[in-house]
Chains A and B, each alone.
Chain A
């Protein structure tokens, strides 16, 4: 069973069209809504965890894209600037999914981007600006896919 966290962007032309339920009905994918926000008549955004076999997840994503949903893998958007990280561990107490965790006994902080749900806590707590996180509504993301 694989798992992928994706950011779905529903532009105004499709935002009232029911799409997500079909991931379960037609693809037998488990989806888990991590965060969602709808700006009426403008745009809707959802952070979704997809669980299923790797190829079915791929098919599900293709289905979403065919229905004009913009799909971004969180793993492609969130990253750590390695030179800035001093491996203090301040982020590890707040990371809700243990994407950021301490390797023992070395006491180095590892970052497993696949587990990241882009909650933004690490970006807030890191004193050195090492975590390049995304928020659900990243103003700089606007127009990136047009």
Chain B
């Protein structure tokens, strides 16, 4: 560890953002810059590195307050376009989860089910400005006598609408393969038998938490790009686990850190918030997230210079192991390898395909970079960073 040659604070960087002198690079650009300048000079020159990811993220949803009806209702069942939203919060608050299916969805009764409309689609429809049908049911009280309320509403009619996602932005994830002898339909896509194809998620070198592997700059209050608007990290996500095996560069070799995020749905765009239908699995939401990482010192510069060659994903069998709760890594593969579209597993060529949109992740990182350069987006200094573990430090700068 020891002293750093470069020491910047959030306040100093924010001052540069306000006066227009800030230097911002995307995580992809930072790889080259650090190679060229070395980490110390890169840390001196570059103030912020922007990241991005656009992936299907379960554990997402929206809090919607639909306003008081006349006469008043204390809803205990709420449906939005036929998708149930949890209403056990108060009178007119509800939470629609991305994975909630339509009430009349045939699910997997005819396998594989198509799951064409669910909570994620409700959220996409709302940010698209579409009108949705709200149905609320109640048992009636003295102060809230109404028992049934129906209304056609668009996003602007909701007094409050927040995207509130308990777990997003997984730091790294499995490379899913299927070693069983039948095709399987998973949240990692369709996997053909006998390891014929493998799918991976995350945007690799652009991914937010892979660029700050010990969460030294990210925590409660970090201001982020969320679904096309501005949001905040409100803490670690569920299942956040810093104690995952790490490679020499400190980067996790499997799913580890996660983010819990919140943002005003009214500022978001369907371009970066898409309802998803995963055949045989269910509904979800594709979420665009970009996290700015302040280059406070040369250590953080080194972290943000991570490239796909240096990030490993564990190969996990979704045919037998994963469903049984095992999921032991059968090997490791780099993102650079997976991105070629082919890898070797067990001496056999396997087709690899991504599930996260790299090109849109890059667009998110670039958009965030422009926001910061224009002075309209300053960094939110976390009040507390995400739970982490100590890092021994890099030996050679």
Q: Which residues in A have some Cβ–Cβ distance to B below 8 Å?
A: 86-94, 101-102, 104, 106-108, 121, 124-125, 127-129
* A93 & B359 in contact (Cβ 8 Å cutoff): no
Query: Is residue B51 contacting chain A, with contact meaning CB distance below 8 A?
Result: no
Q: In the docked arrangement, what's the CA distance between A108 and B339, Å?
A: 12
* B354 & A128 in contact (Cβ 8 Å cutoff): no
Q: Size class of B's contact patch?
A: 20 to 34
Given A107-B358, A108-B359, is A90 in contact with B189 using a C-beta cutoff of 8 Å?
yes
Name the A residues within 8 Å of B216 (CB-CB). none
Query: Which stretch in B271-279, B290-298, B372-380 binds the other chain?
Result: B271-279
Can you pick out 27 interface pairs between chain A and chain B where the beta carbons lie within 8 Å of each other?
A86-B274, A86-B286, A86-B357, A87-B359, A88-B54, A88-B55, A88-B286, A88-B356, A89-B354, A90-B199, A90-B355, A91-B353, A93-B197, A93-B198, A93-B353, A94-B192, A94-B353, A104-B339, A104-B340, A106-B359, A107-B357, A107-B359, A124-B112, A125-B190, A125-B279, A127-B278, A127-B284
Name the A residues within 8 Å of B274 (CB-CB). 86, 128
Number of A-B contacts (CB under 8 A): 74
A142 → chain B closest CB, angstroms = 22
Question: In the complex, what residue of chain B is closest to A102 when comparing beta carbons?
Answer: B341
Q: In the docked arrangement, what's the CA distance between A107 and B363, Å?
A: 12
Name the A residues within 8 Å of B198 (CB-CB). 93
Name the A residues within 8 Å of B286 (CB-CB). 86, 88, 127-128
Name the A residues within 8 Å of B112 (CB-CB). 124
Residue B355 contacts which of A89, A102, A104 (CB distance < 8 angstroms)?
A89
Name the A residues within 8 Å of B339 (CB-CB). 104, 107
Query: Is residue B351 contacting chain A, with contact meaning CB distance below 8 A?
Result: yes
Query: Is residue B134 contacting chain A, with contact meaning CB distance below 8 A?
Result: no
Residue A121 contacts which of B190, B340, B355 (CB distance < 8 angstroms)?
B190
Question: In the complex, what residue of chain A is closest to B189 when comparing beta carbons?
Answer: A90
* B189 & A125 in contact (Cβ 8 Å cutoff): yes
Query: Is residue B246 contacting chain A, with contact meaning CB distance below 8 A?
Result: no
* B279 & A90 in contact (Cβ 8 Å cutoff): no
Given A94-B197, A125-B190, is A88 in contact with B278 using a C-beta cutoff of 8 Å?
no
Name the B residues within 8 Å of A86 (CB-CB). 54, 274, 286, 357, 360
Q: Which residues in B have some Cβ–Cβ distance to A below 8 Å?
A: 54-56, 112, 116, 189-190, 192, 197-199, 274-279, 284, 286, 339-341, 351-360, 362
B158 → chain A closest CB, angstroms = 25
Q: In the docked arrangement, what's the CA distance between A27 and B284, Å?
A: 52
* A88 & B354 in contact (Cβ 8 Å cutoff): yes
* B360 & A87 in contact (Cβ 8 Å cutoff): yes
Name the A residues within 8 Å of B55 (CB-CB). 88
* B352 & A87 in contact (Cβ 8 Å cutoff): no
Q: A90-B199, A125-B279 are in contact. List 8 more A-B contacts (CB 8 A).
A: A87-B360, A88-B354, A90-B189, A93-B197, A107-B359, A127-B286, A128-B275, A129-B116
A103 → chain B closest CB, angstroms = 9
Select the residue from B54, B274, B279, B354 with max chain A CB neighbours within 10 A.
B354
Select the residue from A91, A102, A106 with max chain B CB neighbours within 10 A.
A102
Name the B residues within 8 Å of A106 (CB-CB). 359
Name the B residues within 8 Å of A128 (CB-CB). 274-277, 286
**Closest A-B pairs by Cβ, 5 of them:** A93-B353, A107-B358, A127-B276, A89-B354, A93-B197
* B277 & A89 in contact (Cβ 8 Å cutoff): no
Select the residue from A89, A121, A125, A128 with max chain B CB neighbours within 10 A.
A89
* B277 & A127 in contact (Cβ 8 Å cutoff): yes
A110 → chain B closest CB, angstroms = 12
Residue A107 contacts which of B276, B352, B354, B355 (CB distance < 8 angstroms)?
B354
Q: In the docked arrangement, what's the CA distance between A101 and B278, Å?
A: 20
Residue B357 contacts which of A87, A121, A125 (CB distance < 8 angstroms)?
A87
Select the residue from A86, A125, A128 with max chain B CB neighbours within 10 A.
A86
Question: In the complex, what residue of chain B is closest to A86 when comparing beta carbons?
Answer: B357
* B276 & A94 in contact (Cβ 8 Å cutoff): no
A4 → chain B closest CB, angstroms = 26
A70 → chain B closest CB, angstroms = 29
Given A86-B54, A88-B354, A107-B358, is A93 in contact with B199 using a C-beta cutoff of 8 Å?
yes
Q: In the docked arrangement, what's the CA distance between A108 and B116, Å?
A: 24
Name the A residues within 8 Å of B116 (CB-CB). 129
Name the A residues within 8 Å of B354 (CB-CB). 88-90, 102, 107
Q: In the docked arrangement, what's the CA distance between A121 and B278, Å?
A: 13
Question: In the complex, what residue of chain A is closest to B354 when comparing beta carbons?
Answer: A89
